[in-house]
Amino acid sequence: MSNHLSTYKDRTNLIPYSSRLAEGRALVQDVWSIFNAANLPSDCLNLGQGYMNFAPPRWIVDSAETALRGVAANHYSHPRGRIRLREAIRNFYSPSFGKELNVESEILVTSGANEGQYSVFTAFLEPGDEVIMFEPFFDQYLPSVTFNGGKPVYVPLHPPSDNKKNPTSDDWTIDFDELRRAITPRSKMIIVNTPHNPVGKVYRRSELEHIAALAEEHNLLVMADEVYDCLVFDGKEHVRIATLPGMWDRTVTVGSAGKAFAATGWRVGWLIGPPSIIQPTLAATTRIVFCTNSPLQEAAASGLEKAQEFKFFETQLSEYTTRRAILMDAFEKLGLKYTIPEGTYFVLLDVSRVKFPHDYPFPPSIIGRGRDFKASWFIAIEIGVSSIPVSEFYCEEHANIGEAYARFSFCKDYDTLKQAAERLQKLKQYID
């Protein structure tokens, strides 16, 4: 017995972990843990991570409380999701899909959009299958694809040219020849995130038609990540790629109660698509989480049910329009270039003109990373406003595109944003 134990002198790493963790940057220190509030001065204003610093609406929270006080909603839900939420999703979304959604076969409630997307990858990827994503990409896509044996293939959105005045997210463009070249016989899926995090791009109908034609030609599954569909500004049209001719059959559309109702910690999301995509994904999600937490499904249902009565999404959009204006105004006064977002709650600031001393004491987590990491760190420490460096959302080969930008979130209350706007003016002294 004692002989057996002594075989292993170093007992700190007895069991080798799965090699899949070596893929998809899963073990690398990610940007969220570097730019975490815990690593920054305590009075630093957090415009880094994309979660709100305000509560969900009171009437939705009341529904959560009511659900918790009952019996049924404290127990397992059906793996498809609670029928009340599926019906609410059907009633809310059917008009924008131009069809009556079937609650049994075309809607699946998931534990946040993220888990829903993971489950689609589990359900559809074979080892070596390629998944095309536009850069900058939402960083969870990468490990979610590789954990499921897939291979990410990157196609960058091209930033506005330097001489473009007042660029908008629409000026970030797709090179369709590049996209076509990225497609191979192993291509299985393409992810289309509109409105786009972090660019704020709301894909034009013509762009989606082009993607749709390629998806049809190469038999690709389309993952339409539309978690910011309630945040589209200035009357811009949000087109669901699933509604383009023939696309329903190959598209799964992803939604999130976290984004819709300022409740990112609830972990409630949903997938909408044809039975041929929803049924295999149900098999995957059932194995992964079995079901999504029940009380907050009830609350999300009440949010969708009463949104119209409370003019919730209209009011929320107008509040976000004001928040966006506070931040854009600050950047305008600063004289730094930024991308006007047509959707989401992010603004990309061009930080390439921000100068920091060469001997600035950057921590080891920042040294060796892109210039944007240094700029974001410097702004957080010296100005007191945190942001997220954008090269994190690119593959190594294309990281230089992202190095010019820092992402600032405006899902924060007016006071925080006004304070941040004021502080950011101090950056003037560091602009060349």
Ligand X SMILES: Cc1ncc(COP(=O)(O)O)c(C=O)c1O
Choosing from 44, 113, 215, 247, the residue that interacts with ligand X (CB under 6 A) is 113
Angle at 40 between CA 336 and CA 258, to 5 degrees: 80
CB of 264 to ligand X, least distance (A): 5
User: DSSP 3-state assignment of 292?
Assistant: coil
Q: Which of residues 114-133 bind ligand X (CB under 6 A)?
A: 114
Contact 140, 114 (CB under 8 A): yes
Interaction between residue 258 and ligand X (CB under 6 A): yes
Q: Which of residues 136-165 bind ligand X (CB under 6 A)?
A: 138
Choosing from 24, 79, 159, 269, the residue that interacts with ligand X (CB under 6 A) is 269
Choosing from 148, 256, 292, 302, the residue that interacts with ligand X (CB under 6 A) is 256
Interaction between residue 264 and ligand X (CB under 6 A): yes
Is the C-alpha dihedral spanning 261, 265, 266, 268 positive or negative? positive
Region binding ligand X by CB under 6 A among candidate stretches 107-115, 175-183, 355-363, 367-375 = 107-115
Choosing from 24, 48, 56, 112, the residue that interacts with ligand X (CB under 6 A) is 112
Interaction between residue 225 and ligand X (CB under 6 A): yes
| Distance, CA of 326 to CA of 413 (rounded, Å) | 11
CB of 253 to ligand X, least distance (A): 12
For ligand X, the nearest residue by Cβ is 112
Interaction between residue 200 and ligand X (CB under 6 A): no
CB of 140 to ligand X, least distance (A): 7
Q: Which residues contact 169 (CB under 8 A, 6 or more apart)?
A: 196, 199, 200, 201, 202, 339, 340, 341, 342, 343
| Distance, CA of 379 to CA of 426 (rounded, Å) | 10
What does residue 320 show for φ and ψ, rounded to 5 degrees?
A: -70, -30
Interaction between residue 297 and ligand X (CB under 6 A): no
Return the structure tokens found at 333.
């006064």
| Distance, CA of 428 to CA of 372 (rounded, Å) | 17
Interaction between residue 197 and ligand X (CB under 6 A): yes
Contact 301, 85 (CB under 8 A): yes
Region binding ligand X by CB under 6 A among candidate stretches 72-80, 109-117, 150-158, 308-316 = 109-117
Region binding ligand X by CB under 6 A among candidate stretches 38-46, 71-79, 256-264, 372-380 = 256-264
- List the x/- string, 40-59, binding to ligand X by CB under 6 A: ----------x---------
Interaction between residue 85 and ligand X (CB under 6 A): no
Residue with token string 């079901």:
291
DSSP 8-state secondary structure symbol assigned to residue 380:
I
Q: Is 335 left (phi over 0), alpha (psi -120 to 50) or beta?
A: left
Choosing from 85, 227, 327, 421, the residue that interacts with ligand X (CB under 6 A) is 227
Question: Where along the sequence are the contacts to ligand X (CB under 6 A)?
Answer: 50, 112-114, 138, 193, 197, 225, 227, 256, 258, 264, 269
